[in-house]
Amino acid sequence: MPEIILEAAALDYSYPDGTNALHNINLQVKKGEKLTILGSNGAGKSTLFMQFNGLYHPSSGCIKYQGQAISYKTKALIELRKKVGIVFQDPDSQLFSSSVYQDVSFGPLNLGLSEQVVEARVKQALIDTETTDLEDKPTHLLSYGQKKRVSIAGVLAMEPEVIIFDEPTAGLDPRHAREFMHLVKNLSSEGKTIIISTHDVDLAYSWSDRLAIMSSGEIIAHGKPGELFLQPDLIERADLALPWLIEVHCGLVAKGWLPPSTPLPKSKEDLLMIIPHSPEHLTNCPIIP
Amino acid sequence: MPEIILEAAALDYSYPDGTNALHNINLQVKKGEKLTILGSNGAGKSTLFMQFNGLYHPSSGCIKYQGQAISYKTKALIELRKKVGIVFQDPDSQLFSSSVYQDVSFGPLNLGLSEQVVEARVKQALIDTETTDLEDKPTHLLSYGQKKRVSIAGVLAMEPEVIIFDEPTAGLDPRHAREFMHLVKNLSSEGKTIIISTHDVDLAYSWSDRLAIMSSGEIIAHGKPGELFLQPDLIERADLALPWLIEVHCGLVAKGWLPPSTPLPKSKEDLLMIIPHSPEHLTNCPIIP
Amino acid sequence: MTIRKLKMISLLITYVIAVYIFFPNDAYGMHIMEGFLPFNWAAFWWLAMIPFVITGVRSIKKTVALHPSLKMLLGMAGAFAFVLSALKIPSVTGSSSHPTGVGLGTILFGPTAMTVLAMIVLVFQAVLLAHGGITTLGANTFSMGVVGPFVSYAIYKGAKKLGAPLWLSVFLAATIGNIMTYVTTAIQLGLAFPAATGGVMASTVKFLSIFAFTQVPLAISEGILTVMVINILSAY
Amino acid sequence: MINIDSYAYSNNLKKIHPAEKSVFAVCTMTVCLTSPTVITPLIILTLMAGGIISKAGIPVRVFLKLMLIPLSFLLLSVLTIAFSISTNPSGFWISQTMYGFTIGIYYPDLITAIHLFLRSLGAVSCLYFLALTTPMTEIISILHKLKVPAIITELMMLVYRFIFVLMETAITIHRAQLSRSGYVSLKVSYRSLSRLFSALLGKVFVKSQELYNAMSARCYTGEIKVLTKKYPISLRNYILIAGLELPLILINLFNRV
């Protein structure tokens, strides 16, 4: 069994004004996995993330890192935040320095690393996010997609074990979203544990190893994406929609073209592949690489 | 031929700092149509919208309303803005008052209407956007989706002929996005001309009568969605992606299951309907209402 | 002798601890609280504030007529000042306190506009945070919106004229502006509550020394911070 | 921290005309301020506490917590007035002399201090009554009707709205900084905070331009006109206010003679 790196155990959280935000959250994050927290706006995804990083204290229950309940003393928190990085949704509030270089160096400098180490880490983070050519640009002149990447570089430069992305593709156009997914794939293959929150069901379905569905501050289900998305009442309850891959797959099964036992397609290539050829084979539709 | 209500003719625009933002824009908006401006982040969609409403002056070329080049004198501008309303992307930089009621009344009051008329219009706009029950709540206690609706109410209360929505579904979860599309459908059936900017190709494909694709400040193509999306090089050039309906349709055509002459499906219901039944008819996939 | 010395030392320690207890973590500028000034003095400071507010309103109207978007900018600047005052800044003594933003605001928007902004911010601080008050609005506006900004402005311009580097002018303007705000408050309290022996002077000195403990470090912290902010802004 | 504000929108008195609530709070506050004795402030404190807790339905715990906010300033200032240091040990009510200095309390100063203590608390309770029952937007509308210069009420409207927007931004930036190990030492704190301030200030410039554009698109021509909600005027409430204020004023006058 893979190691559990991060865990929420019987976690409750109420905002200072008394609003109940999270209720009885139990979630285990396995080392190296790709986990998606899926839920509509206001389901409590971001609030849960703040817990993982020690930004909020739970009202009851606890967060464990590598099996140890985390401590909220300053020193322990610094150690935790070194290990668990969050890329917030709005890059505008993540980039608070005037130049890209300064911003990316903020985290490592705070860790008290030597200047050489900081410089090396910043360089590497800029390379990983393909933002090296932006190094000297003032942050406010960047495009939305560039800001997003620089904000990721700022977290990468701290070399965390677990990286949490809050609604990473919101506001990104298809190309930038693709590039982002590519970057995340690389991070994942380097062994990082990745948690993403989103309400984009297509992304959640295709990308994740495991899925947790949140609704009104609770985790109402978790498991393999292919299993969860075949429970329409669950999806409905969480105010979500079905991924189109599943809709088409089910449509084909319903019409009798695919046997019900066909495994669900994970990507559009999969889907197009499992559609069997018809005897008369004609085409003039363009095929996109 | 339907009347041209709004038009950009040979329009060029550079920002005060010299950045070239729009180049040789020619676009005609027909009365009552549903037009989508599709483009990646930074393609110039928002900048073009600022032109339509007289907020920015073109460097050369002009904007015509009902065939007349618009004047930039205060009085003429007010007349134009009465007719052409914009709902901006971020409701937090559009709502200026903490009271929903006050904010919605701002536009119609500026038109010099009597208090009774304004009151009636505010009431109607709140009903249309289903925000009547928010009337007594302060803006800062509303959710993002609610703020978005109030910002729409503020524009509707001015009863414009043309309504422009800048990235209306960005940041909305599937349910809120559906609700928004429903509202827009109603507006359109009342005869309003609707322009939407987006980089969501599925939305653009299913919703619009006509599509204009922007890339780096230019309109690189316009026409029927079904035609434009069958030109993959165009979509690639604009940093976009293909709508999944088209991908699946083309997949089915390529595999020989559909004759190439089958009309493109406009919605997932269309698609599932055009898939023919197989002789052996088995199913255990759930069907979503 | 040594016992007396010991007593003096223990008294000093008691004082320091007392201040820490009374000002645990939120030394909000030094606004006079609601109802603290007697009616006559409250009215006096209201009247004293009005001409400055009118001058401020006139100057804002003039600039807004020329640049209409400036109204939104000023509105947001006011909100910014409020948010600033609600944040804690690390003080050089280790405790933390809240900045006033007077120095920064004056350098960016000029002293006359600051009077109006300060008054508005003080209303919101009173109603939303219960810091300061409505009856004491006049007195608080006079110290934070008139004396503070005008002193800051004079020092900023003066230091620049004397050829001081930007950082020094900014630091002096913010720090001294802040200190003068607190001195004015102490004088206002002294005037309203003359000591039974020693009168206004004795009372003012008492207030000055009591609040010095939190206000002087705060002024220095704010000075340092204002310099850092202006440095970042001018790098833009 | 902006708890007070959310109660203004959810208390049991929110349907009452804001002018009636303002008149009540301001009149009572004035009466409290002009009171020569400790009796009036005590009555006012009870009256307002009753109004806030039983009429407006604010939880007792919240009310007591709010009353503690100004206490740090109050205690420190009141003690400053009560205590004196002098080289002359005579005339003190209680005193302690050491090293040639006398620290102690003069009797008249003590009386002033006690008066002041209660008067301030009485006035604060009036302020809370207003703040907890009346939304700020309504207070601004009243100021507008009182002919306060439009530029002031307009700025107040904008300030009020954007306090929450900017506060939100400040909190998100602060969080992002914390999660990247900001504020871990004094030096890092200054670096973090100065960047927070300047980033926020940058937002002020960008957002104000966006707001101006959005308002211009809705035909803004230099004056921010809005409709205010109408509330029923209640003669009964005005009679009630008069009925409460008159006896208090009489107590004041009686004690003055």
DSSP code of C142?
Answer: I
Residue range C156-170, pLDDT digits in tens = 999 999 998 999 999
Q: Apex CA B163: angle with CA B159 and CA B168, to 5°?
A: 125
Interface test with chain A among B92, B176, B255, B271, by most A beta carbons within 10 Å: B255
For residue A144, pLDDT over 90 is answered with no
Residues of chain C contacting residue A97, judged by C-beta atoms under 8 Å apart: 232
Tell me: the pLDDT tens digits for A33-84?
999 999 988 889 999 999 999 999 999 999 999 999 999 998 899 999 999 9
Query: Using CA atoms, how far apart are residues B163 and B190, in angstroms rounded to an integer?
Result: 12
DSSP 8-state code for residue A99: B
CATH 3.40.50.300 fits B4-94+160-241, yes or no: yes
Residue A263 forms contact with B (CB below 8 Å): no
Kindly list the strands in the beta sheet with A210-215, ordered across the sheet, starting from the edge strand earlier in the chain.
A84-87, A162-166, A193-198, A34-38, A210-215, A218-223
**Cβ contact, residue pair B271, A251, below 8 Å:** yes
Residue B281's pLDDT is what?
46
With bands split at pLDDT 50, 70 and 90, how would you rate the model's confidence at A30? very high
Nearest to D229 by CA among A59, B64, B138: B138
Q: Which among B94, D190, D155 has a CA at the least distance from the CA of C81?
A: D155
Closest CA to D81 of D50, D47, D105: D105
- Same domain? D191 vs D241: no
- DSSP characters over D80-145: HHHEEEES--TT-SEEEEETTEEEEE-HHHHHHHHHHHHHHHHHHHHHHHHHHHS-HHHHHHHHHH
Which DSSP letter does residue A221 get?
E
Going by the DSSP 8-state scheme, the letter that residue A229 receives in this structure is: T
Mutate to test the interface with C, among A74, A93, A95, A98 (most CBs of C within 10 A): A98
- What distance in Å separates the CA atoms of residue C185 and residue C211, rounded to the nearest whole number? 10
Residue A282 scores a pLDDT above 50: no
Q: What is the DSSP letter of D52?
A: I
Facing residue for D179 by CB, picked from A55, A90, A140: A55
D7, D62, D179, best to mutate vs chain A, most A CBs in 10 Å = D179
Predicted confidence at residue B289, as pLDDT, reads: 41
Give the bridge partners for D104, in sequence order: D84, D95
pLDDT over 50 (residue A120):
yes
Residue C179 in contact with residue C219, Cβ under 8 Å?
Answer: yes
Q: Are strands C89-90 and C96-98 parallel, antiparallel or unpaired?
A: antiparallel
Residue B159, Ramachandran bin (φ over 0: left; ψ between -120 and 50: alpha; else beta): left
Q: In this complex, which chains have at least 3 CB pairs below 8 Å with chain A?
A: B, C, D
CB B262 within 8 A of CB B276: no
The total number of structural domains in chain D stands at 2
What whole-number distance in Å separates Cα of residue C131 and Cα of residue D104? 30
CB contact under 8 A, D227 and B122: yes
Q: Considering only CB atoms, which chain D residues are within 8 Å of B105?
A: 226-227
Structure tokens belonging to residue A119: 């410089």
Kindly list the residues from chain D whose CB atom is less than 8 angstroms away from the CB atom of residue C38. 33
Asked if D165 reaches chain C (Cβ–Cβ under 8 Å), the answer is: yes
* D49 plus D114 within the same structural domain: yes
- Count the helices and strands in chain B (H runs, E runs): 11, 10
Q: Which residue in B221, B217, B163, B184 sits closest to B40, CA to CA?
A: B217
SS3 call for B38:
strand
User: In terms of residue numbers, what domain contains D219?
Assistant: 147-226
Residues of D in contact with C18 (CB under 8 A): 76
What strand order describes the sheet that includes A4-14?
A20-30, A4-14, A60-65, A68-69
Distance from CA of C235 to the nearest CA of A (A): 8
Q: How many CB atoms lie within 10 A of CB A184?
A: 20
Can you tell me the distance from the alpha carbon of A14 to that of A12, in angstroms, rounded to the nearest whole number? Answer: 7
Domain ranges of chain A: 4-94+160-241, 243-276
From chain D, pick out residues whose CB is under 8 angstroms from the CB of C95: none
Report the first-to-last Cα separation within chain A, whole angstroms: 38
- Provide the pLDDT for residue C218: 83
Mutating which of B173, B230, B248, B275 best tests the A interface, going by the most A Cβ atoms within 10 A? B173
For A28-65, give the secondary structure using H, E and C. Answer: EEECCCEEEEECCCCCCHHHHHHHHCCCCCCCEEEEEE
**What percent of chain A stands above pLDDT 70?**
95
Asked whether residue D126 falls in the same domain as residue D253, the answer is yes
Beta-sheet strands, E only, within D180-245: none
Q: Do residues D103 and D160 both lie within one domain? A: no
CA dihedral for B200, B201, B206, B207, sign (positive or negative): positive
Structure tokens at D97: 């002399």
Q: Are the beta carbons of B239 and A282 separated by less than 8 Å? A: no
Give yes or no: residues D212 and D160 share one domain. Answer: yes
Q: Number of C-alpha atoms within 13 angstroms, CB side, residue A146?
A: 15
Calculate the alpha carbon distances from A29 to A8, A39, B34, C94, D142 in Å: 9, 17, 45, 39, 55
Strand partners, D103: D85, D96
Sign of CA dihedral B48, B53, B55, B56: positive
Judged by a CB distance cut-off of 8 A, whether residue B105 touches chain D is yes
Predicted local distance difference test score (pLDDT) of residue B142: 92
- D190: chain C residues, CB-CB within 8 Å: 90, 224-225, 228
Residues D17, D121 within the same domain: yes
Distances from the Cα of D236 to the Cαs of D53, D126, D134, D232, D243, in angstroms? 21, 20, 19, 11, 10
Give chain C's residues under pLDDT 50.
1, 24-27
Q: How does strand A84-87 pair with strand A34-38?
A: unpaired
The Cα–Cα gap between C89 and C100 comes to 11
Provide the token pair at A73. 């003393």
The ipTM assigned to this model is: 0.89
Q: How far apart are CA C189 and CA D92, in angstroms?
A: 22
Q: Does C201 touch chain D (CB under 8 A)?
A: no
> Which pair of structure tokens corresponds to residue D146?
């009182």
What percentage of chain D carries pLDDT values higher than 90?
55
Number of C/D CB contacts below 8 angstroms equals 245
Mean pLDDT for D225-250 is 88
Q: What is the pTM of this model?
A: 0.90
Mean pLDDT by 10 residues, chain B (289 residues): 90 85 94 94 91 93 94 93 95 94 95 95 95 91 92 96 94 86 94 94 92 94 92 90 88 81 84 72 46
Length, in residues, of chain A: 289
User: A268: which chain B residues are within 8 Å (Cβ-Cβ)?
Assistant: 244, 247
Tell the burial category of C89 from Cβ atoms under 10 Å away from its Cβ (0-12, 13-18, 19+): buried
- Looking at residue B141, the DSSP 8-state letter turns out to be G
Is the per-residue pLDDT at A132 higher than 90?
A: yes
**What's the rounded Cα separation, in Å, for the pair C141 and C188?**
12
3-state secondary structure at position C207: helix
Is residue D219 in a domain? yes
D171: contact with B, CB 8 A cutoff: no
pLDDT at residue C10 in the model: 66
**DSSP one-letter string for C40-62:** HHHHHHHHHHHHHHHHHHHHHHH
Q: Can you say how many angstroms the Cα of residue D225 is from the centroid of all Cα atoms in its chain?
A: 27
